[in-house]
Structure formats: C-alpha cells, structure tokens
C-alpha cells in the first residue's frame, strides 16, 4: 500500500550514489527512476517497492540526447503530477591522460558532467517554478573547487556545474524552488574502482553520501560536502597561492 503523497525524480538512478539515495528517499517519497539501463532500473525499482511500499516508476534517460530532455521532464510530470523535486546524479569520470589525448573523450566528459545537466535541469526548473515550490539537488564534485592536473577536464565540467547551480539557486530563491549543490569527495563506487582506496578514512561509501544528500534536502542546505570534512580540505586547497599551487603535483 502506497504511504507517500509526493514523488522525487532520480536521474542517473543506476549509479551507486543514486541507488543509495533512492533508498533513502523512499522512506518519505514515491520515486521516478531514470537511467540508460532499463533492465537494471526495473530491478532497482522492484527492490525499493518491496522494501518501502512506495510507488516507483522508471524511464529511460540518455544524458547525451539533450534534445529529448524536455520531453523526458514532460513525461515525468504527466505520469506523476505530484513531483516534489529531483536529484540529478548522472556523471562520467574518464582517465585524465586519455581525455587529454582524445577530444571525443574530453568532449563527452564536458557534455555528460555539465551540458546534459543543464539541459535536463532547465525544463525541470520551469515546471517547479510554475508551482512556486520544490527542490533540485545536483551532484557536482570537490574536483570543481580548484583545477588540478590529475583531473582538470572533469573538474572544469563540475566547476562549471557548481557555478551554474549558484545562479540557479539565486533564481530559485525568488521563484520558490530550492537548489542544493552536492560536492562529494572520494567515494568508493564502480566509477572510482582503481582510483581510490576504499579503506581510506577519506573515502566515503555511497550510503554515507546518500544520507548526507537526503539530510541536506530536508534541511534546505545550499551547498553540502560529503563527507563533511571535505569542506575544510578544499578550503585549504583553495587558499594555496597560485605560484605555489602550480608547482604541486595534485
């Protein structure tokens, strides 16, 4: 039996962080799960329905098809007119050296992590503004706080996304829509296998990040770092003078 009145859209729902976030959201909201792998989406949806007795709808979503994003949002609101907000989770993390040498890979990095987010958020924002309420939570990254040679293409896309969300938050303040930027640090996911040590105290689990996201939504936070200590780590990194910073191998 459905216990919830409102629905949250989760874009990129097959990623580890998104799946964990959907599990956290399901205790309070119905869900629309969107992603490329429809078979995996259906499996996640069934699992959540059994555990939480909420309504879960699935949609195919392709980040690299921006022409279809407005129609996707229309479909979400047609099926569930009670949308309370959305969590945008999709992303793409390439190997920096490969992306430097392969323009198609570099462009995909920029398009998936920045352009595709903007193209789906704009029609979503318009819909929520029509009701003068709702929320949008978007996963950016601490990589966008300062460019580093080890991931500056990914970091540039996430940095652009964070700036975009600042402006969107300013807009939303006057139209009734709350916008939250999520900046994870190192997270042990399928996307970071081989890049992070899951046993490091600096590395979070998807479940920890998910709890931070849902807590931030409920408290209407503007920007959250996950885990919390990354706010201070990045404060130190941003404060290093450029003449010194450019000599470092980060």
Backbone φ, ψ for residue 209 (5° rounding):
-65, -40
What local confidence, expressed as pLDDT, does residue 2 receive?
55
Yes or no: say if 29 and 54 are a contact pair by the CB < 8 Å rule. yes
Q: Which residue has the tokens 């903007």?
A: 118
What local confidence, expressed as pLDDT, does residue 1 receive?
43
The CA-to-CA distance between both ends of the chain, in Å, stands at 51
Query: How far apart are alpha carbons 133 and 125 in whole angstroms?
Result: 10
User: 25-77, pLDDT tens digit by residue?
Assistant: 999 999 999 999 999 999 999 999 999 999 999 999 999 999 999 999 999 99
Yes or no: say if 16 and 190 are a contact pair by the CB < 8 Å rule. yes
Which CATH superfamily groups domain 7-245? NAD(P)-binding Rossmann-like Domain (3.40.50.720)
User: 157-180, pLDDT tens digit by residue?
Assistant: 999 999 999 999 999 999 999 999
Q: pTM for this structure?
A: 0.95
Domain ranges of the chain: 7-245
Query: How far apart are alpha carbons 154 and 165 in whole angstroms?
Result: 17
User: 194-243, pLDDT tens digit by residue?
Assistant: 778 888 989 999 999 999 999 999 999 999 999 999 999 999 999 999 99
Yes or no: say if 147 and 156 are a contact pair by the CB < 8 Å rule. yes
């Amino acid at each position: 039996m459905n216990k919830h009145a409102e629905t949250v859209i989760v874009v990129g729902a097959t990623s580890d962080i998104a799946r964990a976030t959907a599990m956290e959201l399901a205790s309070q909201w119905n869900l629309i799960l969107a992603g490329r792998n429809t078979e995996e989406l259906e499996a996640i949806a069934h699992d959540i329905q059994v555990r939480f007795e909420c309504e879960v709808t699935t949609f195919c979503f392709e980040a690299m098809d921006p022409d279809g994003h407005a129609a996707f949002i229309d479909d979400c609101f047609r099926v569930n007119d009670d949308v309370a907000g959305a969590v945008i989770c999709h992303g793409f993390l390439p190997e920096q050296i490969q992306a430097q040498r392969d323009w198609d890979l570099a462009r995909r990095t920029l398009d998936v992590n920045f352009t595709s987010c903007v193209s789906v958020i704009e029609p979503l924002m318009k819909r929520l503004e029509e009701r003068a309420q709702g929320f949008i939570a978007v996963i950016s990254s601490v990589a966008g706080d300062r460019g580093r040679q080890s991931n500056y293409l990914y970091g540039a896309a996430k940095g652009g996304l964070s700036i975009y969300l600042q402006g969107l938050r300013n807009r939303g303040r006057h139209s009734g829509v709350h916008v939250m930027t999520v900046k994870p640090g190192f997270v042990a996911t399928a996307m970071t296998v081989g890049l992070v040590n899951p046993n490091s105290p600096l590395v979070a689990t998807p479940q920890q990040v998910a709890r931070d996201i849902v807590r931030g939504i409920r408290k209407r936070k503007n920007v959250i770092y996950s885990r919390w200590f990354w706010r201070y780590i990045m404060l130190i990194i941003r404060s290093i003078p450029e003449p010194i910073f450019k000599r470092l191998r980060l």
